[in-house]
Amino acid sequence: RIGDLARAVLENSGKDVEMSIIGLRPGEKMYEELMSEEESARALETDKIFLILPYDYDRRQYQERYANTRLPEIGTYSSTGAGLMRLADIKAMLRNSAAEL
């Protein structure tokens, strides 16, 4: 949940900041979609990332350039079916990510 992420960021910052919940705004949704079904049809996958190709792509051109890629095994990539992380796990992930930077 976004509230847990906000709490983790605030707690990791060490600052005393007041947080207020404002609810959904028009057009907002309760999930995040990182790759749609349509995008996955023109995507390539590496061990770390998805490459979403332009609408007018030539697959042969990209297969030569990205020889170590494969077609994605999933249709959509979204948070709708994902499990929730515990607050402690979110904090640890933030610390590890900051250390990598």
Higher-scoring residue by pLDDT: 92, 80: 92
Give this prediction's pTM: 0.52
Instruction: Please check whether residue 72 is in contact with residue 41, taking contact to mean a CB–CB distance below 8 angstroms.
Output: no
* CB neighbour class for 58 (10 Å; exposed up to 12, middle 13-18, buried from 19): exposed
For residue 78, the cross-strand partners are 33
Q: What is the pLDDT of residue 101?
A: 62
Where b means 16+ CB within 10 Å and e means fewer, 36-49 reads eeebbebbbbeeee
Decide: 79 and 5 in contact? Cβ < 8 Å.
Answer: no
* Residues 6 or more apart whose Cβ sits within 8 Å of residue 94: 8, 9, 12
The verdict on residue 28 lying in a domain is no
Asked whether residue 71 is domain-assigned, the answer is yes
Number of structural domains, the chain?
2
- Residue 77 DSSP class: E
Residue 8: domain span: 1-21+86-101
Q: Does 80 map to a domain?
A: no
Residue 73 has pLDDT above 80, yes or no: no
Residue 46 and residue 68 in one domain: yes
Checking if the pLDDT of 55 tops 80, the result is: yes
